[in-house]
Every structure is written in structure tokens, then in C-alpha cells.
Structure 1
Amino acid sequence: MLLALSLIGLALAALFAVMCLVNLSVLRPPEAGEGPLPAVSILIPARDEAANIGAALDAALAQAGTQVEVVVLDDGSTDGTDRIVEDYAARDARARLLRGADLPQGWIGKQHACWQLGRAARHPVLLFVDADVRLAPDAAARMAGQMQEDGLDLVSGFPRQITGTWAERIVIPQIFVTLLGYLPLPMARASTDPSFGAGCGQLLAIRAEAWHGLGGHAAFRDRMHDGLELPRRVRARGGRSDLCDATPIAACRMYDTPGQIWHGFMKNATEGMATPRALPVWTVLLFGGHVLPLLTLVAALATGAAWSLAASGLACALLLAARIAMARRLDQPWLSVAAHPLGVLVVLAIQWSALFGARRGRQATWRGRSYGMN
């Protein structure tokens, strides 16, 4: 039995390691390319972002290499976010403040904000950016250039994730484990199949024509996960989307506390892993490929089972090699490598909690609003 479990762990660890290394080899930062670039509307939804919005605007207005406008929608803030944006708009004509309309029944707050922003944008490329994202000065030019160079309707990427606490350092990098370990990027680029669509709502550029053609964010008004919905809907209409390595062009501190991490991952879990069909498969892949090898290695050392020790040792070596490569490439903390199995277990706990919560009618809460989990 121990040998069988060791071999299963080895097979699943090898799947992850090979996929991860292949994807890291083809994932590349966006490049501006040659020739004039289309103008970009940088669109920032903001709800109680007084602590963030000034730095976000500084970075957005510092863009070089292409013409930009920066539009911030204040979504019912009570902390003075709107006044900060007004001050910037008074000093720089490229900045605008929109005051958001009341949230209609059946809408997710962010999707309603982004829908209003997209309709107000004036330029042919829409770059949706969260308020906690800090753009490098060439970010807009490089994303617009990548779209133009590769004939893309949409390009997205995960910014470099700033992690201050031990909980962030252990859990946040797991986003990349699931993305780079199990989405075959070469196949995704060769196909327009919507199931290969993936992106990050923190940093997502789309052609305005494509956005309007699919109905904008209104097309998924009741869904949380814009990073999945937009690429999949672009592909469903025959368009092309791609992922880039956004580490050099943007940075973000997603969550600050363990509670924020838990609730942040929970809010859109049921639109990703946490479905009755998908989660058992993900549990086999993640627990079997990332936790089981360590358990069988310990058991093999305790019992002196040579073949199990060899299989489990190889599995752990493959995992370690892949995680080191990922950490170096994406500027992840070394604690995320050392505590990798723990991070996997936390993610699985969140996903199972979300699934059971959805079946009991539990509400997801974010930014002071509650949404049904379905």
C-alpha cells in the first residue's frame, strides 16, 4: 500500500512539475513592440480606497509610451476616496472621476463599477486595474503593444504579489501553483476554446470593440470572477486571449490579514474550484501531488521501505525544483517554497468550506456587501 501511494504521489508530482516548467518557459512579460500604439483607458473601480487611490493614480498617470486617460469610479465610498480623485482631476486633465450609480438588484458591485467605467472610456484599449495595483511606467504601453503584436483581443497577467505577513507568503503564491501547474499555456494559445480562458481581474486589458461586443461586464453581472469570465466570453465569440508575466510591470498587495485572505479566496471559490464536480478532482491533484509525497516520504523513512523512499524522494525533489523555479521567476518569498504543502492544505480547506457554505446558502461578504454563493 505504501509503495502504491508513493507511486501515485510521484505521478501527480511529476505532472505538476513538468507542466509548471513548460509554462514558465513560455510565459513571458509583454513587450510594446514596434510602431505607434493605441491609446489606453486605465479604468479603476474604487470603494473605500482612500489609503490606495493616490498611489494608484500616481502610477497610472506616470505612464509613458502611449496616450492614456485614467478614469476612477467611486462606488459609494465613505472614506473620502472621491475627494482625493477630484484633487488629481483638478491638476491633470487625463484623470476623471465618475460617481457610481446605486447598485441594481442582481449585480456584483465590481462588475457594475467596471460596466460603468467601460461605457465611459474614450480609448480603443480598456485596461481594468484594481486600486491596490501599482503600474510600472511602461505597463500600459507593453500590454497594448502585446495585444497589437499578437493580434489579441484580451491580455491579462498577475502582478507581482507583495506579501508582508507569514499567512500571505504561504497562501497567496498558491494562485500561481494552480494556474501554472494545471493550465497548459501552449495549448491555450493554440486554441480559442473558452475552457482555456484565464486571466486576473487585478490587471486586464481588452479591446473596447471586443468588450462592447460581448456586452461588457453586464454579460456576467451576477458573477464574481471577472478574471475568468472576460477571457472565456472573448473566446466564446471567436476572439483570442492570452496570459502574460506581469511581474515586471505591476505589483499588488492583495490582502493584509489571514481573515482577508480567507474571505478573499472564498468570495469567488464557487466559480472556480469549489464545485461538486471540480473540487474532488482538484483535491486529488493538489493533495495527491503536493502533500501525499511528503507523507509517504516520512512513512518510508520510518519503515525503511526502500522503493517507497526512492519514489517519494523523487516526487519531493520534483516538487521542490518546480517551486524554486516558480519562486525565482515570479519573485515569490522563500517561505512559500518551504511551507508549500501547508499552503496547499489551506487552499483546499477554503475551497471545501466554500462548497459546503454554498450548499447551505451561506453569503459571501466583500467590501461591506453580501452576495449569494452559487
Structure 2
Amino acid sequence: MIWMLRFAAVIPFLPILSFLVYGVLALAAERHRKYAAGPPAATADDFLFVFVVPCLNEELVIAASLDRLLALPGRAVSVLVVDDGSDDATAAIVTRYAERDPRVRLLRRRAPDARKGKGAALNAAYHHLRSVPPAGASGYDDDHILVVVVDADGRLQPDGPATVAPLFGDPRTGAVQVGVRMYNRASGRLARMQDMEFLVFTEIFQRARHRWGNAGLGGNGQFVRLSALRCLGDDPWTHFLTEDLDMGLRLQARGWRTGFTPATYVSQEGLATLRPLARQRTRWYQGHLQCWYRIPELLGCGRLSAGRTVDLMVYLVSPITVLLITLSLVAYLPRQAYVLVTRFDETVDGFLAHHGLLLWWYLLVFGVIPLIGTIYWRACRRSTDDVTLPQSLYYALLFSVYAYLWLPVGWRATARLLRRDGSWAKTLRIPDQPATVPSART
């Protein structure tokens, strides 16, 4: 019984240990490699950027999103909007843009094919691109056409294509993910926590995994070679709840490398209330567990180095620590609380003998707060975000509490997976900044 309690007490250290290990790898990668720079021969002019925007009832944000995409520097830009059975004015707004600008196209999906998930909508876009070449595709082969997945509320930085293009100078690179920020991060603490969550994850884990060619792909700000999509068959995206993560794993199993750059980013809306946030994170956690299905394929593909394989396995199984931490808290902390109360008057040596591990746990958990705060502050400075170091340290303290949201989320996602419940609810939008919607030609 004692050894079980000691083992339970060690479990919460595992995520922190993983954080520190990946942090060291990220620092090493930053020292030996510049993420924004690849082979100098590759520039944005060498590629056609096809922005695919899946939409379901996005009338509040789609106009402003199209304005931003069409304003990106360079002429080699095409936009394909996939209307996945909207019953609002989304299609009408996009149609007006398409009538005015040939770079915009609308693909409408109707029942019974529509509303079967983001993966199905993206596959429909892929089929359309294979049968009807995008505007401006003449002169570009599949290796030089980049399909860019952007959410309807996504705000890609103007330097996005120019920053990402050099990374595709490496012919082994099949996809690149850019950083993600919350554009409403100043609106409240919950949105700020989501911004910190994404930034710290990318600054530590994505930087380190980029070194192996294993950077994770997200559903927003994802750049993929058309030739890489072709190697995945007729349906590059699957029905998994995290179809982006799954597609990245399938690319890696086929020998492609996936990269990441923190030198640019895409902004999206941070959720303002706890319930939809928990629902969203439950979907992500469940989708991550679904990707365990790819473990045999990754282990048996024969195209990955030992280092890449170990990284992928650690990353895929890491969510299990969320469940183990919950069990650890239930098994270990009540006993420690009982001992603390019953032996409150013991000597310092006696206290350390009974509670030393708990003390180290406390110091280690809260000891990373200055590290997280400094990482966030430095990253914000690069994006001209007006956050002071004291503010960042305060946010890091709040983040240490916010992170416990994953404990109930993990169990709920596991229960849904065991029930084979793959349903999901769309995240509601708030109105975007006003945009000038062109009128139809007469």
C-alpha cells in the first residue's frame, strides 16, 4: 500500500518533467536553427496559396475574414469557402465576393452530405481542387500549391505566407503550422488563459517537436502541400474529432516532415465562458485519444528515426497523465491531509519525513510559474503585445489553476470515447469587426 501511495505521489511530476525536457530541446533547437528561415531559394512567389475556409453559419465573421485574406500581399492567392449547409446568410455574402473577385470561389454542401464534421468539409474542398484547379493555378505543380486551412474567424498575419514559404524549401516538408493567438485576449482572464495556453505550448513543445520534423498541426493556420495531401488518398482528413492532428500523424507515417514557425501567427476568438470552453477541450482530448489508432501504423511504417518515433509515442500517450493525476490526487492528498492534522506538532525532521514529497511537489508546481510567465512575456514582446513582466507572472499564477480544467475534461472525454459518442457542438461566434461587403454586380 505504501509503494502505491508513493507512486501516486510521483505521477503529478510527469507533466512538469515533460515540460522541462521539451523546454531544453526547444532551447537547443532555437540555438542551432532559425525557424523562420529555410533554404533561401524558396519564397512566397514560388507558391500558390489556396486558403480553404470551412463555414457553418458564419455570417457574423466571414465578410471580414475574406477582406483580410484578399488583402494579403502577393498575387498568388486563392480562396475557397466551403459552405457546409449553412442556414444563414453565409453563402449569400460569399457569393457577392465571388461575383466581384475571381480569386474567391464558393463550394456549397447540402443535406444529406453537409454537416458531417470539419474533416468531411475539408475533403470536399480537396475533391473540388483536384477536379477544378483554383484560380491562378496555371504554372504551379502540386509541390508548389499550398492548401491553407483557416477558420472562418481566423486572422492570419499579413506576413504569414512570406514567413512560411521558406520552410517549404525543404522538399521533405509536407506541412507547416503557424502559432495561434486569441485576438480577444484582453477582454477577460479566461481568454487570456487560452492565449497563454497556446503560446506556452508552441514556445516549448512545438519548437522542440519542429526539431524532429514532428510539429503538431492545428485546425487553424495549417499550410499543407497539395502533393502531400495526394499521398493520403481520396480523403486526406478523417472523421476524427481532431482531424488536423490525425492528418499530421498520417503524413509523418509516410515520411513527410511537419514544421512549425513562431515568427508569425493566426488569431482566433477565445471563448469567454467556461462551459463552451470545457466542451471544446473535451472534443480535443477525445480526438487525441482517437489518434491512438495510429500508433501501430507509426511504429511499423519504417520511415521514422528512433528519435521521431519516441517523440510521437510520448506525445500521443501524454494525455493519460491527466487521468493518472486525478487518481493521484484522490489517493495521495487525503492521506497527507490526515497525517498533517494528526501530527501537526511534530518536529521539522518528522514533518519532512512524512511530507517531504508533498513539499517538493508544491515547490516544483509553483516553481515553474516564473518560467511560464517569462516565456509568455517574451513571446508577447515579439508580437508587440503590451504585457509587462509583472502582469505575465500574475497570468502564470492564474494559469497554474486554469490548467486543472483538463482533469474533469479528460474523464468526460474518456467516458464519451467509451460510449462511442462522437457528436460535437459548433462554437458560437461573436460579430467580427465591420467589413465592407461588396454588392452584387448589376
TM-score, normalised via structure 2 length: 0.67
Deviations 1:194-220 (A, max 9, x none): xx462111111111111122125x244
- Determine if the alignment matches structure 1 residue 337 to structure 2 residue 396: yes
- Determine if the alignment matches structure 1 residue 63 to structure 2 residue 81: no
Which of residues 131, 137, 140 is equivalent to 2:161?
Answer: 140
- 3-state SS of 2:240 partner: coil
- Determine if the alignment matches structure 1 residue 231 to structure 2 residue 231: no
Q: Separation in 1 of the partners of 2:239 and 2:198? A: 23
Q: How does 1:348-367 map to 2 (within 5 A)?
A: 348-362=407-421, 364-367=423-426
- The verdict on how the C-alpha distance between 1:364 and 1:190 changes in structure 2, with shifts beyond 3 A counting, is same
Structure-2 residue corresponding to 1:272: 288
Q: How many residues align?
A: 356
Q: Separation in 1 of the partners of 2:59 and 2:272? A: 16
Letter of the 2:61 counterpart: N
Letter of the 2:400 counterpart: P
Question: Contact 2:51 / 2:78 at 8 angstroms: preserved in 1?
Answer: yes
- Determine if the alignment matches structure 1 residue 23 to structure 2 residue 39: no
Structure-1 residue corresponding to 2:125: 117
Which deviates more from structure 2 when the two are superposed, residues 65-74 or residues 114-123? 114-123
Shift in Å, 1:347: 1.3
Structure-2 residue corresponding to 1:45: 54
Q: Separation in 2 of the partners of 1:95 and 1:360? A: 41
Letter of the 2:212 counterpart: A
- 3-state SS of 1:153 partner: strand
Which deviates more from structure 2 when the two are superposed, residues 67-76 or residues 276-285? 276-285
Q: How does 1:144-159 map to 2 (within 5 A)?
A: 144-149=165-170, 151-159=172-180
Question: Contact 2:182 / 2:270 at 8 angstroms: preserved in 1?
Answer: yes
Structure-2 residue corresponding to 1:328: 377
Q: How does 1:60-139 map to 2 (within 5 A)?
A: 60-65=69-74, 67-104=76-113, 108-121=116-129, 122=134, 123=137, 124-139=145-160
Q: Separation in 1 of the partners of 2:417 and 2:252? A: 28
Q: Separation in 2 of the partners of 1:12 and 1:367? A: 30
Q: Separation in 2 of the partners of 1:84 and 1:137? A: 23
* Greater Rg over alpha carbons, structure: 2
Question: Contact 2:120 / 2:238 at 8 angstroms: preserved in 1?
Answer: yes
Q: Separation in 1 of the partners of 2:376 and 2:16? A: 17
- The verdict on how the C-alpha distance between 1:31 and 1:252 changes in structure 2, with shifts beyond 3 A counting, is farther
- Determine if the alignment matches structure 1 residue 189 to structure 2 residue 211: yes
Deviations 1:81-102 (A, max 9, x none): 1111122222222112221243
Deviations 1:4-53 (A, max 9, x none): 98877667534423423542664666458555421111111111111111
Q: Separation in 1 of the partners of 2:230 and 2:256? A: 13
Question: Contact 2:220 / 2:266 at 8 angstroms: preserved in 1?
Answer: no
- Determine if the alignment matches structure 1 residue 250 to structure 2 residue 266: yes
RMSD: 4.0
- The verdict on how the C-alpha distance between 1:223 and 1:230 changes in structure 2, with shifts beyond 3 A counting, is same
Q: Separation in 1 of the partners of 2:327 and 2:194? A: 15
Structure with the bigger RCO (C-alpha within 8 Å, sep 6+) is: 1
- The verdict on how the C-alpha distance between 1:19 and 1:190 changes in structure 2, with shifts beyond 3 A counting, is closer
Structure-2 residue corresponding to 1:165: 188
- The verdict on how the C-alpha distance between 1:197 and 1:26 changes in structure 2, with shifts beyond 3 A counting, is closer
Question: Contact 1:160 / 1:330 at 8 angstroms: preserved in 2?
Answer: no
Q: Separation in 2 of the partners of 1:204 and 1:197? A: 11
Q: Separation in 1 of the partners of 2:171 and 2:328? A: 37
Which deviates more from structure 2 when the two are superposed, residues 249-258 or residues 23-32? 23-32
- The verdict on how the C-alpha distance between 1:13 and 1:225 changes in structure 2, with shifts beyond 3 A counting, is closer
Shift in Å, 1:273: 4.8
Question: Contact 1:158 / 1:200 at 8 angstroms: preserved in 2?
Answer: no
Letter of the 2:277 counterpart: I
Shift in Å, 1:271: 2.2
TM-score, normalised via structure 1 length: 0.78
- The verdict on how the C-alpha distance between 1:235 and 1:10 changes in structure 2, with shifts beyond 3 A counting, is closer
Shift in Å, 1:353: 0.9
Deviations 1:280-333 (A, max 9, x none): 4344479989xx99xx9xx99x96546668735651454113311332244398
Question: Contact 1:269 / 1:351 at 8 angstroms: preserved in 2?
Answer: yes
Question: Contact 2:181 / 2:198 at 8 angstroms: preserved in 1?
Answer: no
Shift in Å, 1:66: 5.6
- 3-state SS of 2:173 partner: coil
- Determine if the alignment matches structure 1 residue 212 to structure 2 residue 230: yes
Q: Structure 1: 5+ residue runs without aligned partners?
A: 369-374
Q: Separation in 1 of the partners of 2:287 and 2:107? A: 29
